[in-house]
Amino acid sequence: MQKILGIRHHGPGSAKALKRALAALQPDCILIEAPADAEKLIPYVENKKLKPPVAMLVYADKNLRQAAYVPFADFSPEWQAMKYGLKNEVPLRFMDLPMDMTFGLDAAAEAAVQTALDISEKPTAEDENFRRDPMKHLAQIAGYTDSERWWEIMFEQPDNEVEVFDAVLEMNTALRAEVKQEQPRTLLREAYMRKIMRKAVKDGFEKIAVVCGAWHAPALHDLKSYKQSADNALLKGIKKIKTQATWIPWSYNRLTFQSGYMAGVNSPAWYELLYKERNEATIRWMVRAARLLRGQNQAASSAHAIEATRLAETLARMRGLSLPGIDDMHEAATAIFGEGDDLKIRLIKEKLIVGDVLGKVPPEIPVIPLQKDLEKQIKTARLTAYRKSSEELWLKATAANKRGGLDLRNDNDLLKSHLLHRLDILDIPWGKLQKETGRELSTFKEYWKLKWKPDFALRIIEAGMWGNTVREAVEKYILATAEKAEKLPELTQLTDRVLKAAVPEVIPPLIKLLEEKSAVTTDVLLLAEALPPLVNIMRYGDVRGTETGAVQQVTEQIVPRICIGLPAAVSGLDEEAAAKVFGQIIAVNHALNLLNDEDFNAQWQRCLRQITGTVRAFPSLKGLSLRILFDKNSIDPQQMTTETRFALSTGQESMAAAQWLEGFLYGSGLVLVHQPRLWQILDEWVDEIREEDFTEILPVLRRTFSAFSVHEREEIMRMAKGGILVNADEDAMDEERAAAVLPTVRMLLGYA
């Protein structure tokens, strides 16, 4: 006898009903819908340290891009089936199509290999929609627009008895009769499931419990109606790809539809409460909500929790429900706690509907050597608490300092920084260095946000191809990447990353490659792109105690070549190319400011002067160059005024003038406030622009002025309204008036 138990993946009501069904049936074998080649992972479910949510990771040995996750929560019916079987010593078997065959099918599809199930006639859009969400048809009949909500009300919230599985089977049998053409992969999976069922019968099992997704139940109910030879023919010839499997931690966030998981649910945290505390779920949820909001200094008393509970129960009764659903709970919480404002209780959705629970996998479960070393490194760096959380957290944040921050002069903080940079190189971006605080690197500070993601497990396996320890993997990966680098900026950026990751063993070969590549690089724009990382290496190396003399030699070779070649390189560029060079000029200027070398500064200023006088240079580049020269006091106000008057003269095209202005005013508009003559020139230029030209250049002007600070915009607005009067023909200083106050000034300064 086979009992088909059609369930909803991660359904708390399904899990409870399944436990009752297994207790009543007392099967001598349990078949579960899960990849057959992951069956060896079942015994680990007995380990009390394996705490869901967790997932089985099945991946191809030789192509880690081929991988699949099979997640389970405590309220997942399949998880409870495994626990029941292990506790009662009932044989457990996985019966879904093994991933070694699934990966083979995927590879065949990529290679455009035809299979026995290829369908020449494409399904209609109506068929596709029905097949994508078959339950929606029944939900609409019942008056629901959301099939997930309908299923929750019908099957997950009620305390259903064993007979519910017969109803699920009958319902899905009727639904599948409406499907004109099932998906080929579904038919293959069901053929394999029937194959495993036949084997269980052949092995002598008499009471077989089949735990499968509700949609598959009709295809497994009557084995006799499917020919064994037909199933074997479907499965014949599928190439197998060798796989490995292990358990990894998972999170509630990754169990949701929003994460892209097709078998996901909307509210994992609510489902957990519904599974464990169904009768008191409403009041417990509201109490948790109140505590959560109080922690955020929001008004949330016991009275609020009681009123919200009453409102949720009232809403449920009005809708004919035996128990409030998550929609009822959310509406009640919004009305009572949020006073009608959904934004006030956004945190409730994150914590109590989706949840931030992260599962645990004990160290005794086999993992690759790199993962073992990584866990050791995490413990040594004192980052274990961040590893256990699925939230995004500021590293070393405190109540007084919300952003935290690492002090690179501290050995423990430096260790944390090294590890996070190494993982970033290996494409395991656990930490994100906050770029907006980059200016603080010179003060030995780094600011990180950390968020561990379950799918890092696969990236760790992939990185394990490079070495058995984090450091070894980084070394080999860097050297392999450097050998493939075709352009100088790639090498400079790579060297910068290596320095921050503190892997000095690979710096000598990288420097050698840098020298070779810089010597043969003739493209001055590539040299300009390579300079900022080199300067960063020199400065960062000082902070971390790393020898950077060789990098300095490369830098000393590159700077003169940039200064000599850049004026010619900016000639004749279109707008898109000029925008890229614009950013490079800013970056090079910043880098040279950091170096503060007198000779380099002189060369750079000569270069900028040439650009301002290059006829075919793009206007924004000429404007930017002039502004940098003025900020460096390389030109006086009179010279700047003359250049501005020429750039905004009537002889220039309006668009070219607007683009020049965009470059000149980049970063700050205070120059207009402090140099009234410039304002006068700008005012006259705007006044002379024709209406049709003004419409054309308006986007450029808006882009330019919108970048100013609020204070700058307010000051410019005051000037535009006539708050400042300028006579461009008058001298900058009234000698006679100055002479009148000079004796007083001398006295105040002690020179009288």
For 187-209, write each residue's pLDDT tens digit.
999 999 999 999 999 999 999 99
What's the whole-number mean pLDDT along residues 136-158? Answer: 79
Evaluated on CA atoms 354, 356, 357, 359, the torsion sign reads: positive
Give the pLDDT confidence of 413-462 residue by residue, as tens digits.
999 999 999 999 999 999 999 875 444 444 578 899 999 988 888 888 88
Give me the mean pLDDT over the 1-15 stretch: 91
Structure confidence at residue 261 (pLDDT): 60
**Whole-angstrom distance, CA of residue 591 vs CA of residue 559:** 10
Strands (E), 226-344: 243-249
For residue 344, is pLDDT > 80?
A: no
pLDDT tens readout for residues 590-599? 989 888 888 9
pLDDT of residue 443: 53
Whether 120 and 113 have beta carbons less than 8 Å apart is answered as no
Is residue 321 predicted with pLDDT exceeding 50?
yes
- Model pLDDT, residue 133: 76
Burial degree of 154 (CB within 10 A; 0-12, 13-18, 19+): buried
SS3 340: coil
Predicted local confidence at residue 439, as pLDDT: 42
pLDDT value of position 529: 84
pLDDT > 50? residue 566: yes
Higher-confidence residue of 253 and 416: namely: 416
> How is residue 283 written in tokens?
């009041």
* DSSP for 575-641, written as a single string: HHHHHHHHHHHHHHHHHHHHHT-HHHHHHHHHHHHHHHT-TTB-HHHHHHHHHHHHHTTSS-HHHHH
Pair of tokens at residue 587: 């970056």
Q: What average pLDDT score do residues 650-656 get?
A: 84
pTM (two decimals): 0.65
Q: What is the rounded distance in angstroms from the CA atom of residue 202 to the CA atom of residue 200?
A: 5
Q: Which of 168-182, 240-254, 298-312, 668-682 has the lowest mean pLDDT?
A: 668-682
Place of tokens 């590893």: 387
Which tens digits make up the pLDDT trace of 619-646?
A: 999 989 998 998 888 888 888 888 888 8
H-run or E-run covering 718:
helix 710-718
Average pLDDT of the chain is 84
Buried/exposed code over 266-298 (b: 16+ C-beta within 10 A; e: otherwise):
bbbbbbbbbbeebeebbbebbbbbbebbeeeee
Average pLDDT, integer, range 264-284? 87
**Residue 670 pLDDT level (bands cut at 50, 70, 90):** confident
Q: For residue 487, what pLDDT is reported?
A: 81
Question: Pick the residue with more confidence: 347 or 469?
Answer: 469
Confidence at residue 736, expressed as pLDDT on a 0 to 100 scale: 78
Q: In the predicted model, what is the mean pLDDT of residues 491-512?
A: 82
- Percent over 90 (pLDDT), the chain: 33
Which of 128-137, 167-176, 293-302 is least confident?
Answer: 128-137
Q: How do beta strands 92-96 and 29-35 pair? A: parallel
Q: Sheet of 448-450: strands edge to edge?
A: 393-394, 448-450, 431-433
Mean pLDDT over 291-310 rounds to: 88
